[in-house]
Amino acid sequence: MSAERESHNLLDYFGINTFNDTVMQERLPKEIYKRLQATIKKGARLDQDVANAVAHAMKEWAVDRGVTHFTHWFQPMTGLTAEKHDAFLDIDKDGKPIQRFSGNMLIQGEPDASSFPSGGMRSTFEARGYTMWDPSSPAFIMESGNGAILCIPTVFISYNGEALDKKAPLLRSMRAIDKEASRILALFGREGHRVTITLGPEQEYFLVDQKYFEQRPDLIMAGRTLIGAAPPRGQQMEDHYFGSIKERVLDFMQDAEHELYKLGVPAKTRHNEVAPHQFEIAPIFDEANVAADRNQQIMEVLKKVAMRKGLALLLHEKPFAAINGSGKHLNWSMVDGAGHNLLDPGQTPSENLQFLVFLVGVLEGVYNYADLLRAAIASAGNDHRLGANEAPPAVMSVFLGSTLSAILDSIESGSNGAVSEQKIIDLGIANLPRIMQDNTDRNRTSPFAFTGNKFEFRALGSAASISTPATILNGAVATALKAMGDDLEARIKEGASLNEACFSVLKKYIAHNKAVRFEGNGYSEEWLAEAEKRGLPNLKNTPAALEAYTFPKNKKMLTQTGIYSEAEISSRYNTKLERYCNTLGIEYSMLQSLTRTHVLPAAVEYQNTLIQSIEGLQALKDILDDDTVAAQGALLRRVSSEIAALLKANDALHSATEKAEALEDEQEKAHFIAESVIPVMERVRAHCDALEELTPDDLWPLPKYREMLFIM
């Protein structure tokens, strides 16, 4: 346990490394602070004198905390973060060293745009790109062993203004949903309210001892074990979930939380997850762009602290076969300017009706753009989880629970919400009682579940940035709310009261999106058959899912909401395809290398040992019975058979990967890998795992699952 953590109360150091509102009030002139807040909260133009004053205050604050360098911290389409460090150090005209940080340096940077994924928007000879300060997300100081860096959250755009990152589209999507949700609030007499999206991502991860990690080339190169036989004990005892946290892990968690608290990241929950050596950390909800930044900070801090503790942090969605993989449940809600959650059923009649409008708007958005939401969470790693009896299926559906489903069915049938359950007496026009929170059970098989006052988007992968799924969801719901707002206004202009207009519009959209609602077991084969009957897309792998970016209806939604341009949509599609192909390229190259350099040498050595043993037994055949020799012969035949099968499968993999690499069209290559290469990889793995279970421990060159998952 660190001495600093031991000697401080949480409240004494929470946020000390964040240039937050408290610091700004202390260090900025009142007028400058007021104008900066107008920029942050109302989107007012940022004037140069404000930028200069903020830059000076930010530099002085950072220097006081031992900072020597700053960086524009951004989120390129890699899904990770990027940074280039510049020193505050400068030399004045007299040759004396000074520390300088201007408003221009705060507002804008210029990294090389050609070296980041652009999906064709940038070429190698078109290198110019810009980072631009996002004032709505607080700057922070990231400490290291020999110093500290001032990190300034920014967006990343090309020379021509196209978004090259994940944050700029997220900010645009927040603006789109604010516009349409505020418009509906105005119909309920609540004009002038800014609507923000709040997110609360639950981050799952694995920890293994660093010494085991370093002995696994597949973990180092691919982030997951490409081979590995299942141990006798996995998670079948159901004793790890919420179990007592091991002391070494708890020490890691406490140090990580200490670093996060200093960054102002409100880490709230920690616990053991279902699989052995799997854990979760969850923060308190925050505004979407801040939450996206903080999730990146969480992943970064967890990695750094784990390394200091002699541990390896695994964020891959499926680092180990035969046990649960890791996801990132994204809790999503809408909040108005007064802090009211628009997905909270509320206590007054108007709030209940308002709630139903927003609830149905979310259902409509998910129904209309289910394919695009699937594409938003698609990755090579996540393909291992979705639909594998540990994560929601690839079919996008919504779980509401029996009470809310009964209410919507009642409205659709024309009885305006009257249901027989005691919890909800009536939702008629004249008398709308309170809908109780937590009036539903939980459905862990649903990819998108209502959980009382928010939706939980459960299908995200653990390594993914939350920005893109949130961006697509925001755009989908904004588009649905626009259509509903148009219909509400039209009905009111025709002379209908607000209540009459609401029930009329609700009835229309409840009937339209009813197919997306599902209360049962999402893991079942019956549901997949039912989903097909309902016309819901079942995009089983990443190449199939990504094609949703090319569909006209999806392009129309993304461009009309201002989230992406046509070029930016194409760039995301191309980048994701390329990333899929590159990820699998690393995996199948690594698998072939492991087979040649680790598995086969160990297996052949054991085979030779068996041959020598049998030859010795043959020399003693006069004193041994035939069964003794035959038994070892059978073992030799089994080992030799697996070696031969592995060699054959490895040759087939080599042939398949050569065909894949020869394909120039990225889309064709991705589909070929998914349909023709991955099945061969699975065959290779099956033979490797069989040989692992046959080969003596002292000959097997790789740490086994039982070591990595049960020794800490």
Percentage with pLDDT > 70 across the chain: 91
- Check residue 424 and give its pLDDT: 40
Q: Quick one: 588 exposed, middle or buried, by C-beta within 10 A (0-12, 13-18, 19+)?
A: buried
Distance CA 459, CA 484 (A): 27
* Domain limits, CATH 1.20.120.1560, in the chain: 580-708
Residue 3 binned pLDDT confidence (cut-offs 50, 70, 90): very low
Amino acid at position 380, single letter: A
114 pLDDT above the threshold of 90: no
Distance CA 267, CA 286 (A): 11
By C-alpha distance, which of 162, 295, 312 is closest to 224? Answer: 312
CATH 3.30.1330.40 applies to domain 3-165:
no
- Check residue 325 and give its pLDDT: 92
Alpha helices, DSSP H only, in 535-677? 542-546, 552-560, 566-594, 600-619, 626-662, 666-672
The number of residues making up the chain comes to 712
By C-alpha distance, which of 534, 386, 526, 512 is closest to 447? Answer: 386
- Check residue 125 and give its pLDDT: 54
Q: Quick one: 487 exposed, middle or buried, by C-beta within 10 A (0-12, 13-18, 19+)?
A: middle
By C-alpha distance, which of 342, 347, 377 is closest to 360? Answer: 342
- Check residue 431 and give its pLDDT: 40
Q: Are 327 and 460 in contact (CB under 8 A)?
A: yes
Domain covering 174-224+236-564, topology:
Creatine Kinase; Chain A, domain 2 (3.30.590)
CATH number assigned to the domain with residue range 580-708, chosen from the 4 options 3.40.50.300, 1.10.3210.10, 3.40.50.2300, 1.20.120.1560: 1.20.120.1560
- Check residue 537 and give its pLDDT: 94
* CA 586 to chain CA mean position, Å: 21
Residues in contact with 359: Cβ distance below 8 Å, sequence separation at least 6, in sequence order: 343, 404, 450
255 pLDDT above the threshold of 90: yes
Between 118-127, 414-423, 605-614, 625-634, the lowest mean confidence (pLDDT) is in: 414-423
Average pLDDT value over all residues in the chain: 90
- Which pair of tokens denotes residue 313? 């942090």
- Check residue 427 and give its pLDDT: 44
Distance CA 565, CA 269 (A): 38
2 pLDDT above the threshold of 70: no
Q: Quick one: 337 exposed, middle or buried, by C-beta within 10 A (0-12, 13-18, 19+)?
A: middle
Between 57-66, 307-316, 375-384, 520-529, the lowest mean confidence (pLDDT) is in: 520-529
Distance CA 358, CA 344 (A): 10
Distance CA 454, CA 473 (A): 13
By C-alpha distance, which of 288, 296, 297, 290 is closest to 261? Answer: 297
pLDDT digits (tens, 9 = 90+) for 355-391: 999 999 999 999 999 999 999 999 999 999 886 666 7
SS3 string, 390-405, reads CCCCCECCEECCHHHH
Question: What is residue 517's DSSP assignment?
Answer: B
Between 627 and 75, the more confident residue is 75
- Check residue 490 and give its pLDDT: 97
Between 145 and 595, the more confident residue is 595
* CA 678 to chain CA mean position, Å: 23
Q: Looking at mean pLDDT, say which of 111-115, 122-126, 307-311 comes out highest.
A: 307-311
* Domain limits, CATH 3.10.20.70, in the chain: 3-165
